[in-house]
Amino acid sequence: MLAAGLLLITLALWQSYNIFTGKTSAPIVFQTTGEINSQGAVGDAQQQINQAVQKQLNQILPPASITKILNLASWCIFAGILIFGGSALSGIGVKLIKSGN
């Protein structure tokens, strides 16, 4: 149990290291969708204003960077769960070793 817990922690940390150094990419949980075109009875001036605002927002914070941040955050949460589980498993292993004597 102790070895399995330590292995789980080590694998989670190794994968996190590879993700944050750029050797591998984070698992894709979130994806960007295509552009949303608003069609309807919107006036021509209003549509131009909406397009200009959308263009400026995309220059400030591109949608691809938002999904990249969300994917990294989801990996961090999952890695934290793996590390927590590995530490619990290792703790059980330590208790079994102590009670065996």
What domain count does the chain have? 1
Give the structural domain span for 11. Answer: 2-27+44-100
Looking at residue 61, the DSSP 8-state letter turns out to be S
In a domain, 35, yes or no: no
In this prediction, residue 62 carries a pLDDT of 82
Identify whether the C-beta of residue 90 lies closer than 8 Å to the C-beta of residue 5. Answer: yes
What is the mean pLDDT for each group of 10 consecutive residues in the chain (101 residues)? 93 94 90 62 77 84 86 94 95 92 64
In this prediction, residue 57 carries a pLDDT of 80
In this prediction, residue 73 carries a pLDDT of 94
Please report, for residues 17, 61, 72, the alpha-carbon distance to residue 26 in angstroms, rounded to integers and kept in the order given: 11, 20, 6
In this prediction, residue 98 carries a pLDDT of 93
The residue assigned the tokens 């922690």 is 9
Q: What is the number of other CB atoms lying within 10 angstroms of the CB of residue 95?
A: 12
Looking at residue 37, the DSSP 8-state letter turns out to be P
In a domain, 38, yes or no: no
